Amino acid sequence: MEITIMKNILDRNNNKADEVRELLSKKNVLMVNIISSPGAGKTTLLERTIEKIGSDIRVGVIEGDVATDRDAQRLKRFNIPLVVINTEGGCHLDSHSISKVLPLFDLDRLDILFVENVGNLICPSQFDLGEAFKLAVVSTAEGDDKPAKYPMLFRDAEAVLLNKTDLLPYTSFRIDNFRSDLGKINAGIPVFEVSCTQGYGLDSWYRWITGQLSSSGRSA
Amino acid sequence: MEITIMKNILDRNNNKADEVRELLSKKNVLMVNIISSPGAGKTTLLERTIEKIGSDIRVGVIEGDVATDRDAQRLKRFNIPLVVINTEGGCHLDSHSISKVLPLFDLDRLDILFVENVGNLICPSQFDLGEAFKLAVVSTAEGDDKPAKYPMLFRDAEAVLLNKTDLLPYTSFRIDNFRSDLGKINAGIPVFEVSCTQGYGLDSWYRWITGQLSSSGRSA
């Protein structure tokens, strides 16, 4: 009974996701669905990325949060198109909420639309928002066992950003364990080892994300 | 429509939770529902706690995991009653799954039953398992804004364990911000500042949890 209901909701979500994807494709906007545990560094990644590529590429952000607009407050200084979706307790964004806020953006003047999903390593991975792809962010402080223990996101993601590498000397995280588990779930997936607070390792991420823009036929 | 369905599921869950609570109360077993983000340190907390109190107090554990039995493998060396609930993608435990596994324990020979919920700061807080109380675990690496951004758990919890204090020198976490936000949501809630990997600050936690046992009329 519960499973049937869930399937209906998911089907309805998928239909709307296709509409969103079609619209964004027509407008040449690359939408990236960023998913992680709470506090893995999604907002700091956005701050760094907008600082670096924001003058050449027109970036917009949708901030998904259970409560507060604190993440959006951190991004206000960039003067970019920015919308907050407050889920009021909801554990993920869905394509309907994305569809509702898209008219608030001028899609003709946008190259990338980053969606910072609600901080949750499980539920958001089950909802297609109409994105071009999902980006998984994981912090070294969470432990190297996360791909094995939460495989759904890592199976679906187009790339993984391993954040907080500056904390590696103070944790028991082993990158070989992490990469080995990840390889069994999603062989060949690009992994960027970075520290967003310290600014380490981000150049290859910047190159990759802007490359996604040009490879999908959008102007960079 | 979706909200109505959700309410039915929750009502059904609550009924079973009351049954679980009644049974555990009759058997003098204290069930603690431990909730955190992925990788905040729930399993390491259990390892430390069983090491410290496990010779005086009869401890059992229910391990909730999306996939794998890695956490349970880490606890096997203690030779305690230990059951894994694999949710196969599900984002939380519920009282029905608890009710189903309780017959696997000899409740007459148990003082505390720790439930390590699925790593998720949102969904598990909405499901009453029939526990005596919820314990929130949060890591300093997640940032000091978690109580404000994910208020549901922190509002309901009986205590907060702030873990990974050994990482404080390497993060921007400010304990005064954390405590101030938490105080607005749940004034007077006990907060234990600890490092489970290093063993710092755990004595007051051990005293508190064994105190819960005696104050609830159970033999310690």
3-class DSSP state for residue A30? strand
Query: Would you call B119 and A150 a contact, using CB atoms and an 8 Å cutoff?
Result: yes
Query: Where does the pLDDT of residue A218 fall: very low under 50, low under 70, confident under 90, or very high at 90 and above?
Result: low
Q: Does residue B178 register a pLDDT over 90? A: yes
Q: Does residue A68 register a pLDDT over 50? A: yes
Query: Where does the pLDDT of residue A74 fall: very low under 50, low under 70, confident under 90, or very high at 90 and above?
Result: very high
Compute the average pLDDT of residues A179-192. Answer: 98
Asked if B6 is an interface residue toward chain A (Cβ–Cβ < 8 A), one would say no
Asked if B168 is an interface residue toward chain A (Cβ–Cβ < 8 A), one would say no
Q: What share of chain B is helix, strand, coil (3-state, %, to 5)?
A: 50, 20, 35
pLDDT at B214: 79
Query: Where does the pLDDT of residue B15 fall: very low under 50, low under 70, confident under 90, or very high at 90 and above?
Result: confident
Q: Does residue A6 register a pLDDT over 70? A: no
**Helix ranges (DSSP H) in A114-188:** 146-149, 151-156, 175-185
Q: Does residue A15 register a pLDDT over 90? A: no
3-class DSSP state for residue A38? coil
pLDDT at A215: 73
Asked if B119 is an interface residue toward chain A (Cβ–Cβ < 8 A), one would say yes
Asked if A167 is an interface residue toward chain B (Cβ–Cβ < 8 A), one would say yes
Compute the average pLDDT of residues B21-34. Answer: 98
Best interface-test mutation with A: which of B118, B170, B195 has the largest number of A CBs within 10 A? B170
Could you report the predicted ipTM of this complex, rounded to two decimals? Answer: 0.91
**What are the residues facing B116 on neighbouring strands?**
B34, B63
Question: What are phi and psi for residue A99, nearest 5 degrees?
Answer: -60, -35
Q: Which amino acid is at B67?
A: A
- CA gap B191, B189 in Å, rounded: 6
Range in A23-27, A153-157, B4-8, B33-37 with the lowest mean pLDDT:
B4-8
Report pTM: 0.92
Sign of the C-alpha dihedral computed for residues A121, A127, A129 and A132 taken in this order: positive
Q: Where is pLDDT greater, at B85 or A3?
A: B85
C-alpha distance from residue B215 to each of A111, B27, B29, B190 (Å): 60, 15, 13, 16
Q: Which of residues 63-92 of B touch A (CB under 8 A)?
A: 65-68, 70, 89, 91
| Token pair 């997936």 in the structure block, residue | A189
Compute the average pLDDT of residues B161-173. Answer: 98
Query: Where does the pLDDT of residue A2 fall: very low under 50, low under 70, confident under 90, or very high at 90 and above?
Result: very low
Residue B145 C-alpha, separation from nearest chain A C-alpha, in angstroms: 9
Query: Would you call A139 and B39 a contact, using CB atoms and an 8 Å cutoff?
Result: yes
CB-based contacts of A21: which residues, under 8 Å, 6+ apart?
A31, A130, A131, A132
Asked if A12 is an interface residue toward chain B (Cβ–Cβ < 8 A), one would say no
Query: Where does the pLDDT of residue B134 fall: very low under 50, low under 70, confident under 90, or very high at 90 and above?
Result: very high
Per the document, the length of chain A is 220
Spell out the SS3 assignment of A7-19: HHHHHHHHHHHHH
pLDDT at B1: 32
In the numeric block, which tokens belong to residue A126? 């089950």
- CA gap A68, A38 in Å, rounded: 14
Compute the average pLDDT of residues A22-27. Answer: 97
C-alpha distance from residue A169 to each of A132, A164, A175, A206, B161 (Å): 35, 11, 12, 25, 23
Contact list, B172 vs chain A (CB under 8 Å): 197
C-alpha distance from residue B73 to each of B79, B91, B118 (Å): 11, 21, 16
Mean pLDDT taken over chain B: 93
Query: Where does the pLDDT of residue B4 fall: very low under 50, low under 70, confident under 90, or very high at 90 and above?
Result: very low
Compute the average pLDDT of residues B127-139. Answer: 97
Per the document, the length of chain B is 220
* CA-angle at B14, arms to B120 and B107, nearest 5°: 85
pLDDT in tens, B195-216: 999 999 999 999 999 999 977 6
Q: Which amino acid is at B109?
A: R
Smallest CA–CA distance from A172 into chain B, residue: B197
